[in-house]
Amino acid sequence: MKTDELIRAMTADASRRSMPLDTACRLAGALAIVLAAAAFMVTLGPRPDVLASLETVRFVFKFVVTLSLAASAFALLRILARPGAETRGYLPWLAAAPLLLAVAVTFELFAVPSSHWASRLVGVNSLVCLTFIPLIGAAPLVLFLLVLRHGAPTRPMLAGAVAGLLAGGLAAAFYAAHCPDDSPLFVATWYSIAITGLAVIGAFIAPRIVRW
């Protein structure tokens, strides 16, 4: 290629304006909520006593935990999508949801007789939980991985895992409206397994699709 042709090609590339990364993140977040809501309503829907359950601490706490995970993961994903971004100030926020769960589980163990611990942990909906949190989170995970592809993460495996945590937290928040098991023991066990599964998938896929 001649020098003038190379200059013209570089100028043409520079003139193409791609969507800003922050805009792509916000758009992916909004679409992820819509798609997760659609998947939830088509497959499960809220439980019959959802309005009455809003008056109970255990039911509301499920949303506190799942949404805090989704919010912290979203903030971190926006950072990780950029090359060489500093994440030390954001990574600790991912511990907020597990810490909240740990405190809630501790209170549950004190409040509930030990003879009931096993039944609270196993619940009645564990298989549904393990099935539908990943199902509801699948489309959001794809969107968040596309955001990573739009960006340029230097730690794609970590970024993919965070994308999975974000998708899982969002999916779990919707699933919580259907789940009849409100015990923190159940949430800490089965919700965590389902969300971790999405994080592992994200960590596996991200290094294979990001642009470098």
**Would you say 79 and 87 are in contact if contact means Cβ atoms under 8 Å apart?**
yes
What local confidence, expressed as pLDDT, does residue 13 receive?
45
User: Helices (DSSP H) in 153-191: which residue ranges?
Assistant: 156-176, 184-186
Q: What is the pLDDT along the chain (212 residues), one digit of tens a residue?
A: 445 554 444 444 444 457 888 888 999 999 999 999 999 999 999 999 999 999 999 999 999 999 999 999 999 999 998 887 777 777 788 899 999 999 999 999 999 999 999 999 999 999 999 999 999 999 999 999 999 998 888 899 999 999 999 999 999 999 999 999 999 999 999 999 999 999 999 999 999 988 65
Judged on CB neighbours under 10 Å (0-12, 13-18, 19+), 207 is: middle
Judged on CB neighbours under 10 Å (0-12, 13-18, 19+), 36 is: buried
What local confidence, expressed as pLDDT, does residue 211 receive?
64
Q: What's the pTM?
A: 0.88
What local confidence, expressed as pLDDT, does residue 131 receive?
97
What local confidence, expressed as pLDDT, does residue 151 receive?
85
* Distance separating alpha carbons of residues 73 and 55, to the nearest angstrom: 28
What local confidence, expressed as pLDDT, does residue 1 receive?
46
HSE toward the beta carbon, residue 191, CA cutoff 13 A: 33
What local confidence, expressed as pLDDT, does residue 7 receive?
41
Q: List the helix and strand counts (H, then E) for the chain.
A: 10, 0
Q: What residue ranges do the domains of the chain occupy?
A: 20-209
